[in-house]
Structure 1
Amino acid sequence: MEPKALVKAMVEFSSKTLLLSRRVGSLYERELKEGSRTKVEELQEKVDKHAEENEAWKKEKEEWEVERKRLATWRVRCLDSEEKLKGRIANLEADYNDIKEKHDGLKGELEDLKSCIIQEHINGFQKGVRQAPFFYENIDGNDVSFDVNKDVVDGVLIDEAESSPEGDGEKEALDADAGSNEVVTEGSEQKEA
């Protein structure tokens, strides 16, 4: 081959190469643009999805924040109520102890008063026994048949322990005392004072 033909072929191939490279370059750019568009669209979908999730998380976070604040205020209220109730319980326990002490004191005082009442009844009975011989001459006040533990039921002198509801219900007459304890109030003479 001749040098002129060689140069001519080189120039021709170089211009064809240039055209071919431009054509390949434009195809490559178009392919990149289309490929990047699809990539951009995919990435944009992911970004949109992430933004939606982020908004949902923000809303949920706000809801949880409101719930946390509400629970915190309830917690404070509960703690305040607990402190108040503990104080009230302590006061009630102190009041209970005071009332219990008063009750125990009153119970002892009641027992003392019962003893005093019983003693006053015994003393009153003894006064009556002492006054009977004074007003009625035929009654002996020192007679052993005058017993505070005996009573007259249906005209018979019986022991109170036998007539109590705790007993067997049978009333036994004391035969020895029945005849000597009849007191006649009508027609008996009184001493003149």
Structure 2
Amino acid sequence: MAHAAQPRPLRADAQRNYDRIVSAAREVFAQHGAGASLKEIARRAGTGSATLHRLFSSRRALLEAVFHDRVEELCAMAAQRAKENEPGPALFAWLRDLNAYAVASRGLAASLLRDGRDADLLEQGEGCQATIANAARELLRRAQQASAVRPGLLVEDLLALFAAISLATEHHDDDEQADRLLDIAIEGIRLKSS
């Protein structure tokens, strides 16, 4: 089986530009959402648009770079939640972690999970969405085996629910609304004992 070629490491100056662009993008996307101006990101990073496009072939690639570290942290939290809690509470706690991130990022998380121009991220085996879906899938599987959540629930349902909450609340000043909506959703997916 042929291995994909590893990308060459960036030169020191290119790495500095990469880091500045990712940092600026994190700020601009948090303020204006995933559709924010790439030109504004380049300006804030102190680079030209050509430098941004040379380092990031698409908006999606830049979104992936912005989200990558935080998504890795969220997935590590999923494993930690699974280790420290019973299956149902582990899933619900992690959904709250994911929700808190969505609130803090003002719509960035939803942009990676909803249908639209970046929807193909979910299909990529190594992308942020695939990483989140895999973490959620394992927590959901364990919760269903423990009869803590509805048996027919799919990971896609959870991610769609999360995206809907994020989209519904991203332009509101009431950050607690997302928490209230998530509480309602959790009650809806929790399996009630008879």
Give the TM-score of the pair, scaled to structure 1: 0.26
- Structure number with greater Rg is 1
Q: TM-score, normalised by structure 2?
A: 0.26
For CA contacts below 8 A with separation 6 or more, give which structure has more relative contact order: 2
